[in-house]
């Protein structure tokens, strides 16, 4: 919280410093002070409506507060401003998956992997989606992605994905 206080002082000296507000919001959110973090991001967006990181971080806070539908519009603005940001696109894909929109989520995860082929979270999430959602099921590809994720890092998630893809692949043979 000392860093958040220092950023508050910096903002008082430079009230239009959007990056300081974004950083302050990150520290506040990490400390569980979500309302203050959101207020800081709202102010950043007022100062710079076309700042993609302010929009993306605000969308993430909205998701955290259960305001998913509102978050979608902020993610879309952020992606229109910075379409090649794999982390924003990944977070948007996660939200789409949580909202039971697997085909849209798949498309977004695929884009993340085109931008950054070894993006570990996207490898895992896309593999899981392909292994477990009937609308976009592709156990063979899921297993390939899971194995790629496993070579980079072995986690419970990657092991679960590999197991699910293997099991579903056997069921379709």
Output the pLDDT for position 156. Answer: 55
Contact 38, 61 (CB under 8 A): yes
User: Could you tell me the maximum CA-CA distance found in the chain, to the nearest angstrom?
Assistant: 66
Q: What is the pLDDT of residues 125-139, one digit of tens each?
A: 999 999 889 999 998
Q: What is the CA radius of gyration of the chain?
A: 19
The count of other CB atoms within 10 Å of the CB of residue 39 is: 15
Q: What is the mean pLDDT of the chain?
A: 88
Residue 123 and residue 145 in contact, taking contact as beta carbons nearer than 8 Å? yes
Reply yes or no on whether the pLDDT at 8 is more than 80.
no
Please name the residue ranges forming H helices in 65-138.
68-81, 86-98, 102-115, 120-132
| pLDDT tens track for 26-84 | 999 999 999 999 999 999 999 999 999 999 999 999 999 999 999 999 999 999 999 99
Give CA–CA dist 103/111, Å, rounded.
13
Q: 125: which 2 tokens?
A: 């999430």
What's the average model confidence in pLDDT over 11-19?
85
Q: Is the pLDDT of residue 155 over 90?
A: no
């Amino acid at each position: 919280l000392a860093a958040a206080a220092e950023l508050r002082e910096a903002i008082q000296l430079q009230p239009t410093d959007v990056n300081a507000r974004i950083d302050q919001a990150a520290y506040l959110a990490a400390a569980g002070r979500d309302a203050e973090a959101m207020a800081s991001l709202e102010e950043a967006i007022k100062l710079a409506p076309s700042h993609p990181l302010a929009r993306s971080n605000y969308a993430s806070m909205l998701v955290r507060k259960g305001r998913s539908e509102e978050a979608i519009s902020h993610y879309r603005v952020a992606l229109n401003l910075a379409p090649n940001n794999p982390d924003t696109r990944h977070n948007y894909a996660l939200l789409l998956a949580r909202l039971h929109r697997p085909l849209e989520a798949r498309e977004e995860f695929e884009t993340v992997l085109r931008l950054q082929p070894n993006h570990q979270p996207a490898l895992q999430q896309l593999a899981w989606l392909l292994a477990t959602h009937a609308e976009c099921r592709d156990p063979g590809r899921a297993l390939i992605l899971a194995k790629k994720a496993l070579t980079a890092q072995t986690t419970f998630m990657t092991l679960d994905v590999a197991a699910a893809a293997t099991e579903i692949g056997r069921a379709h043979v």
